[in-house]
Amino acid sequence: MILIVAATFNEIRPFYEKLILINKIDDFLSEHQFENKKIDILITGIGMTSTAYHIGKIIGKKNYEFAINLGIAGAFNKNLNLGDVVNVDSDIISEMGAENGASFLKFDEMNIGKNQLDKTVYSIKNAYQINNPIIQKLPKVKGITVNTVHGNAESVDKIINLFNPDVETMEGAAFLNIFNAEKINCAQIRAISNFVEERQQAKWNIELAIEKLNVAAFEIVNNI
């Protein structure tokens, strides 16, 4: 069984509308059929807290073989283009840390102790990548997961200097952590909707990103 996780319905609407609806559990979870595949769709809402809660609520009730996080993302990496679909195979909760005067201490730079550091989710590398020919062809990128998306030139420069990320999302680290902890094959698949810079929504292309994301989603599922 495949679980598709998205923050919002609009991000996966084209994919959703081609599936056969079997059962609508509630406003968040629905069961579908696509050819011979059983697919659950989970719409979590935006952010790490909502994502973690809604995945945690269902993960012990069903035996998922694969989990795929679909959504849009902002890009720091100028080698990426709007509409590019990427595989975020590592992620960091970049806001975890401490202010130290005018500077910022990353979580792993704080004097916390190895025992607590090892128990705390901060940096995640996907060790349970789905073995899928479409996913394997996608660029692998490094993500940060944030509560506040960047839209100020000064803060963008700071985060690049701290982490040198390729993309940012508001859910990715929560998704990767849960399915890696549960040892379930997973992938965080994102399409670039905008560049992370001084906020200029007129330069974004969410429609293109969603189109490309959903094309990739069908190709991935067809090859599972």
In the numeric block, the tokens 């100028």 are attached to 78
- pLDDT in single tens digits along all 224 residues of the chain: 999 999 999 999 999 999 999 999 999 999 999 989 999 999 999 999 999 999 999 998 999 999 999 999 999 999 999 999 999 999 999 988 888 888 888 888 778 777 776 777 778 999 999 999 999 999 999 999 999 999 889 899 999 999 999 999 999 999 999 999 999 999 999 999 999 998 888 899 999 999 999 999 999 999 98
Name the maximum alpha-carbon separation found in the chain: 58
Full domain range(s) for residue 15: 2-222
Could you give the CA distance from residue 88 to residue 181 in angstroms, rounded to a whole number? 17
Q: What is the 3 state secondary structure string of 34-73? A: ECCEEEEEEECCCCHHHHHHHHHHHCCCCCCCEEEEEEEE
**The domain that contains 149 carries what CATH number?**
3.40.50.1580
Number of CB atoms found within 10 A of residue 130's CB? 22
Closest CA to 172 of 132, 197, 131, 142: 142
Residue 181: its pLDDT value, please?
Answer: 94
Could you give the CA distance from residue 163 to residue 5 in angstroms, rounded to a whole number? 26
Number of CB atoms found within 10 A of residue 211's CB? 14
Domain count along the chain = 1
Could you give the CA distance from residue 74 to residue 77 in angstroms, rounded to a whole number? 9
